[in-house]
Amino acid sequence: MLQTLTKEAQLTEEAHRLYGLLKSVSKEDGSRWTYEDCLAAAPYTLSINQFKKEKNAVILAHSYTTPDLVYGVADYRGDSYELALKARDSSADMIVFAGVWFMAETAKILNPHKKVLIPAGHAGCSLADAITGAEMQQLRAQYPGVPALCYINSVAEVKAHCDACVTSGNVFDIAQKLPGKELIFVPDLLMAKNLEAELVRRGTPKKIIAAGGSCCVHDKYQPHDVEKLRAQYPGIKVVAHPECPIEVCRLCDYVGSTKGMTAYVAGSDAETFGMLTEFGLVNRLEAEFPQKKFVWPFGVCRSMKRNTLQNTLEALIDPRPEQVVEVAPAVAAEAKKAIDKMFELAQ
């Protein structure tokens, strides 16, 4: 009886902790996280945090995953660059990466001897799926001597054929540092346009040879989405991810990575922000800046949302084969060179 009461008290305390963090966070249907939602999450967050200690695991969560993961169990939350750094520098025995496959794969490449798990299993990304290693190899053969950058949203086989990889937070700076007037950039055709324009703006133009596809979340935004936000909310600041079309980015007040957008909001006096990015970042900003208003027209990455408290717990206890990240050692060794080059050039 005493034990039951203690367990109940623990759950109540955990639900209050979660509710304190999530009460200003919205759900896709427009409602907010409730105390009852937090009470339902509490058994999972308590168990996950317990297993995490027992297994000396670290949980890394991308900002686009759900807020119960981001605030309930993650040791680190952030953009793809920050999380790659955390993975590289982690002293944990096990890395649990709540994100999409290419992110967990990057963590494995940086930690070939550690167990790296992804709760969602093979959660894809329309960008990473847009070009194969063989196609990248062909592109390099077609343009000999031209430096090649790949966005981190690419598979290990593509990274293995590139000089360096980049993230949305450092793509402009790294591209500017590379020699020559031409540059291969994969696999985001829309970011390639933004990159080309930014290099012109900086006075260091380059011809970008692009291949690949687009992000199925960010490529949906249109100039009229920005115009509508401005008409509806006078004084609004509109921010976008560089995976959005250039016609949209040109109309925005700020364009940058998920970390960059967060820093922009933190440093702005505006009260209302239009968010042309994935819903999870909106949730993070709602949690961290409850006094500000965030208007989100649409945009959900279903792959990111495949990570749940339940499959995180299952992965920690007894991972299913699809939750265990493996990369062929020869590919990993080559891909690591491109990732390490990014760390070097991002300094």
Under rule CB under 6 A, which residues in 120-149 are in contact with ligand SF4? 125-127
Residue 42 Cβ vs ligand 13P, minimum distance, rounded to whole Å: 28
Instruction: Decide: is 191 part of the binding site for ligand SF4 (CB under 6 A).
Output: no
**Dihedral of the alpha carbons of 300, 306, 310, 313, in degrees to the nearest 10:** -120
**Dihedral of the alpha carbons of 32, 291, 248, 62, in degrees to the nearest 10:** -60
Both structure tokens of 57: 């695991």
* Helix 329-345 with 101-110: angle, nearest 10 deg: 90
Question: Contacting ligand 13P (CB under 6 A), which of 45, 106, 153, 312?
Answer: 153
Q: State which amino acid sits at residue 19.
A: Y
The whole-angstrom separation of Cα 152 and Cα 193 is 17
Q: State which amino acid sits at residue 125.
A: C
Instruction: Decide: is 171 part of the binding site for ligand 13P (CB under 6 A).
Output: no
Both structure tokens of 94: 């096990």
Query: Which of ligand 13P, ligand SF4, none binds 60 (CB below 5-8 Å, type-dependent)?
Result: none
Under rule CB under 6 A, which residues in 147-166 are in contact with ligand SF4? 153
From 131, 92, 110, select the one nearest 212 (Cα to Cα): 131
Question: Contacting ligand SF4 (CB under 6 A), which of 156, 158, 175, 215?
Answer: 215
- For the chain, what is the total number of helices (H) and then of strands (E)? 15, 12
The whole-angstrom separation of Cα 104 and Cα 120 is 10
Residue 220 Cβ vs ligand 13P, minimum distance, rounded to whole Å: 12
Question: Contacting ligand SF4 (CB under 6 A), which of 172, 278, 309, 311?
Answer: 278
Under rule CB under 6 A, which residues in 50-89 are in contact with ligand 13P? 79-81
* Cβ(264)–Cβ(254) below 8 Å: yes
Residue 82 Cβ vs ligand 13P, minimum distance, rounded to whole Å: 8
The whole-angstrom separation of Cα 97 and Cα 1 is 38
Query: Which of ligand SF4, ligand 13P, none binds 279 (CB below 5-8 Å, type-dependent)?
Result: none
Site string for ligand 13P, 94-133 (x = CB under 6 A): ----------------------------------------
Q: Tokens 């995180």 — which residue?
A: 312
Site string for ligand SF4, 229-248 (x = CB under 6 A): --------------x-----
Question: Contacting ligand 13P (CB under 6 A), which of 258, 262, 283, 311?
Answer: 258
The residue range among 104-112, 131-139, 204-212, 215-223 that interacts with ligand SF4, by the rule CB under 6 A, is 215-223
Query: Which of ligand 13P, ligand SF4, none binds 192 (CB below 5-8 Å, type-dependent)?
Result: none
Q: Residues 60, 90, 165, 212: is their CA dihedral positive or negative? A: negative
Q: State which amino acid sits at residue 60.
A: L
Q: Tokens 């990455």 — which residue?
A: 301
Question: Contacting ligand 13P (CB under 6 A), which of 65, 90, 126, 167?
Answer: 167
Residue 78 Cβ vs ligand 13P, minimum distance, rounded to whole Å: 7
Residue 40 Cβ vs ligand 13P, minimum distance, rounded to whole Å: 28
The whole-angstrom separation of Cα 102 and Cα 124 is 8
Cα dist from 282 to 2, 166, 169, 203, 235, whole Å = 42, 24, 18, 33, 19
Q: Which is nearer to ligand SF4, 148 or 304 (CB)?
A: 304
Q: Which residues bind ligand SF4 (CB under 6 A)?
A: 100, 125-127, 153, 215-217, 243, 278, 301, 303-304
> Where does this chain bind ligand 13P (CB under 6 A)?
79-81, 153, 167-169, 215, 241, 243, 257-258
